[in-house]
Structure 1
Amino acid sequence: MSILVNLIMCLMILAIVGAIVIVIYAWMKPTDNTSVLTDERTALKLVSLTEKEAIFTTEMLLNNSGVEAAAITDVFARPYLPQEQYNQATVYSNVETVDRRRNDNYFEALILQAKSNRALIVTLRFVANDGYSIKEAMKNMVDMDVAIYYNGMARKAIYIRKNFFTVMGTEISALVGGSKDVR
């Protein structure tokens, strides 16, 4: 009986020590530290202007300051411009890497090595609504937040993170020539 009790006690101690080792390993395990550097984005650039549509781009870095590579599986932009706030234009967006441009609104997954970055380009396409020309629609454009969502994984679970930047309405208006201040 004493041998059985000793064996059970030994197994319990081993299980507890094993659990402690696993918890410490998981806590100390390095991972990526990926973020989109929205604060360092380039100025908005007008790339196309028609009677009904204006297309803008801005560039920013996807940065991994961690000690491990990260698999970035998706990146997309979500402009916050509800029709209740501004109904003269509808905005569409997409995100690509600068060196792998696509015309199918698809982000090509990539491996982002530790201590490295990739340049992203965010495209914002505004389409005038309700009989407005794009210049008329952009004349009273409001400030608009844009969230950049990105999915990735390293050694830990898959994550979804987001960073924000704000596009100023006056900046858009000035670029399309619809600004109230244009003489």
Structure 2
Amino acid sequence: MGFLIVLLIVVLGAAVGVWLYIAKQGDANFKFIIDQRTDFTLTGITKETATFSATVPFINNGSQDGTLMDVFPRHFLPCEQFDAVDTDTRLTLDRANRNDGYWEAYIVPVTTGGSIILTVKFTAKSGDIKVVLKDMVDMPIDIVYQVVARSLWYIAKERLVMTADEIHKALAASEEAAAR
């Protein structure tokens, strides 16, 4: 009987030790660093469309590697607020710039990160895009991301705001550059 009690104590001690080891290992913890993003710049313009892009850094500041399985933008520009354009937003990893809207799963080692390129394309419903965007409003954009790591997968998001002022400045800078 004494042997069984000693064996039970050893097994329970080992189980507690394994649990503490696993708990100490931690997990991935991703953060898109919105306040370090670049300003939106004009990357392409036609009479009907204007395309802007910004770079947003991210980091895995957890204690384990993690995988960004799916990352996508969601813009908020309801027609009640501004109905003069159709809006398309996309993002891609800056190291593997894709133009098909597909996010390829990306393993991010602990304490490292990278950057995404967020692209916003406005298409005027009628008229010249430069004239239409003079009345543009601030537009919130969520970066939604799915993380797979040691714990159960989760979905999180960070919100940035593409300001009307940024759009106006980028258009003005483009006109200045074209005038030179």
- TM-score between the two structures when normalised by the length of structure 1: 0.81
Q: Which residue of 1 aligns with 2:43?
A: 47
Q: Tell me the alpha carbon deviations over residues 24-79 of structure 1, each in whole angstroms, 9 at most, x when there is no partner.
A: 66654410111111110011110001111000000011211112110111111111
Partner of 1:157: 152
Residue in 2 that maps onto 1:112: 108
Q: Is the 8 A contact 2:49 2:122 kept in 1?
A: yes
2:175 corresponds to which residue? none
Which has the larger Rg?
1
Match of 2:73 in 1: 77
Runs ≥4 in structure 1, deviation > 6 angstroms?
Answer: 12-23
Is 1:138–1:176's contact at 8 Å kept on the other side of the alignment? no
Aligned residues: 170
Normalising to structure 2: TM-score of the pair? Answer: 0.83
Give the CA RMSD over aligned residues: 2.4
Cross-structure match for 1:132: 127
Residue type of the partner of 1:123?
A: T
Kindly provide the amino acid, as one letter, of the partner of residue 74 in structure 1: D
- Offset from partner CA, 1:97-153 (integer Å, 9 cap, x none): 111111211111110000101111000111111x22211210110011110011111
Q: 1:59 aligns with which of 55, 64, 71?
A: 55
Partner secondary structure for residue 92 of structure 1: strand
Question: For residues 161 and 105 of structure 2, what CA distance do their matches in structure 1 show?
Answer: 26
1:167 aligns with 2:153: no
SS at match of 1:99: helix
Structure 2: 5+ residue runs without aligned partners? 173-180
Q: 1:15 & 1:153 partners in 2: Cα distance?
A: 31
Which structure 1 residue ranges, 5 or more long, are not aligned?
178-183
1:96 counterpart = 2:92: yes
Change in Cα spacing, 1:16 to 1:87, as seen in structure 2 (3 Å) is: farther
Cα distance in 1, alignment partners of residues 133 and 11 from structure 2: 66
Q: CA deviation at 1:22?
A: 7.8
